[in-house]
Amino acid sequence: MAALLSSAAIADVPRVATDIAPVHSLVAQIMQGLGEPSLIVQPGASPHGYSMRPSEARALDQADLVIWVGEALTPWLEGPIATLGENADKIELMSVEGTILYDYREGATFGHHDHDHGADDHAKDHDHDHDHAKNEAKDHDHDHAEKAHDHAEHDHSGHDHSGHDSHAWLDPVNARLWLGVIAAELARLDPDNAAAYAANAAAGQADIDALQAEIAAMLAPVSDKGFVVFHDAYQYFERRFDLAAAGAITLSDASTPSAGRIAELRDAVATMGAACVFAEPQFDKRLIDTVFAGSARVGLLDPLGQDLAPGAALYPQMMRGMAMSFADCLAG
């Protein structure tokens, strides 16, 4: 591939700004050997609320392409993208055709029967999406990119993502789809390097296929063990790998839980026999220690890769780390 990576070609690579570290990682995989995307939300920060530093605002202002999950995850970013990133092309990943989306869950506890029913309802769609991503990527990735590009040219006010859980990157099938879309859009902007983007996407998709199989095997022995998470961010991961979530302390946007919600969860841990309560490094775990101490094991989940170095390796490392946290705590 060395012939593809001439200094002239590298100099013309588009400048890409990304919102969170997992998305940055997927883009870095596509740009590997050509350039580095910039990252707006720095490790350790929550994307649900963030104040950009001048360097991050400058990266957005200078970007040729902005790739973000969407306003459902980072509503504060919609304005800066519209102003600072006015002249950039955009890909809003939750708007990409074929992306698997789930509605927000409102209750503190999740009925296991309802979860199973939902997982069954989506299983065929999941398999179809996975096969579609594998078998028709070459035919459709460019179409997806064109539609994402066209979408960026229109006013987003007509699109309401408020009903959809925004943590869609935690389903590897979505990540696999997005790799193809990102590669196609970069190839459209930078046709001289189209072959390199396509090769990187194919390698990344193969790695995700292997990662998904690895995680499925790791979690199969604990798929019937109940657990509670700090905030409701994991249903994409739960449904993909058939895990038995009992509830969440806070809503998907990590808002402060009510006393009633805490009481409901405490009862659920006792009655459902939840094996673990999972904290997150982005949030204070004192609430978990206070409310659930002694009633369940406490584990740690990191859906953003806070302690990992940003880059191409972060996404698989983050997903594998989450799987290991689930497996270790639930098996204990």
Q: Using H for helix, E for strand and C for coil, what is the string for the chain?
A: CHHHCCHHHHHCCCCEEECCHHHHHHHHHHHCCCCCCEECCCCCCCCCCCCCCHHHHHHHHHCCEEEECCCCCCHHHHHHHHHCCCCCEEEEHHHCCCCCCCECCCCCECCHHHHHHHHHHHHHHHHHHHHHHHHCHHHHHHHHHHHHHHHHCCCHHHCCCCCECCCHHHCHHHHHHHHHHHHHHHHHHCHHHHHHHHHHHHHHHHHHHHHHHHHHHHHHHHCCCEEEEEECCCHHHHHHHCCEEEEEEECCCCCCCCHHHHHHHHHHHHHHCCCEEEECCCCCCHHHHHHHCCCCEEEECCCCCCCCCCCCCHHHHHHHHHHHHHHHHHHC
Mark whether 196 and 100 lie in a shared domain. Answer: yes
Beta-sheet pairing, 226-231 with 276-279:
parallel
Do 91 and 157 lie in one domain? The reply is yes
Are 196 and 224 within one domain? no
- Are 210 and 229 spatial neighbours (Cβ–Cβ below 8 Å)? no
Say if residues 30 and 197 touch (Cβ distance below 8 Å): yes
Would residue 71 count as lying in a domain? yes
Q: What is the pLDDT along the chain (332 residues), one digit of tens a residue?
A: 444 455 545 658 999 999 999 999 999 999 999 999 999 999 888 898 888 999 999 999 999 999 999 999 999 999 999 999 999 999 999 999 999 999 988 766 776 534 443 333 343 344 444 444 344 344 444 444 444 444 433 333 333 335 899 999 999 999 999 999 999 999 999 999 999 999 999 999 999 999 999 999 999 999 999 898 888 899 999 999 999 998 888 765 666 777 787 787 777 777 777 788 898 887 777 777 766 767 778 899 999 999 999 999 999 999 999 999 999 999 97
Looking at the fold, whether 26 and 89 belong to one and the same domain comes out as yes
Domain boundary, last residue among 216, 232, 259: 216
Which pLDDT score is estimated for 9?
A: 53
For residues 156 and 239, state if they share a domain.
Answer: no
pTM for the full predicted model: 0.82
The range of the structural domain enclosing residue 8 comes to 2-106+129-216
> Do the domain assignments include residue 115?
no
Residue 182's identity, in one-letter code, is I
Structure confidence at residue 202 (pLDDT)? 99
Q: CATH number for the domain including 254?
A: 3.40.50.1980
pLDDT at site 130: 42
Evaluate whether residue 120 is within a structural domain: no
Q: Are residues 198 and 236 in the same domain?
A: no
- pLDDT at residue number 326: 97
Return the half-sphere exposure (C-beta side, CA atoms, 13 A cut-off) of residue 150. Answer: 8
CA separation for the pair 190, 178 (Å, rounded): 18
Q: Is 124 a member of any domain?
A: no
Q: β-pairing, 65-68 with 276-279?
A: unpaired
Find tokens 């199973």 and name the residue: 116
- Same domain flag for 269 and 139: no
Structural contact between residues 44 and 282, judged by C-beta atoms closer than 8 angstroms: yes
From 216, 238, 271, the end of a domain falls on: 216
- Distance, in Å, from the CA atom of 21 to the CA atom of 321, rounded to the nearest integer, reads 15
Both 45 and 186 in a single domain?
Answer: yes
The pLDDT value recorded for residue 49 is 84
pLDDT of residue 260: 81
**For residue 14, what pLDDT is reported?**
98
- Model pLDDT, residue 137: 40
Please check whether residues 33 and 140 belong to one and the same domain.
Answer: yes
Predicted local confidence at residue 251, as pLDDT: 65
Domain count, the chain: 2
pLDDT of the residue at 28: 99
Whether residues 79 and 205 fall in one domain: yes
**170 and 268 housed in the same domain:** no
From 185, 216, 247, give the residue that closes a domain: 216
Is residue 235 domain-shared with residue 313, that is, in the same domain? yes
Kindly report the length of the chain: 332
Within a domain: 113: no
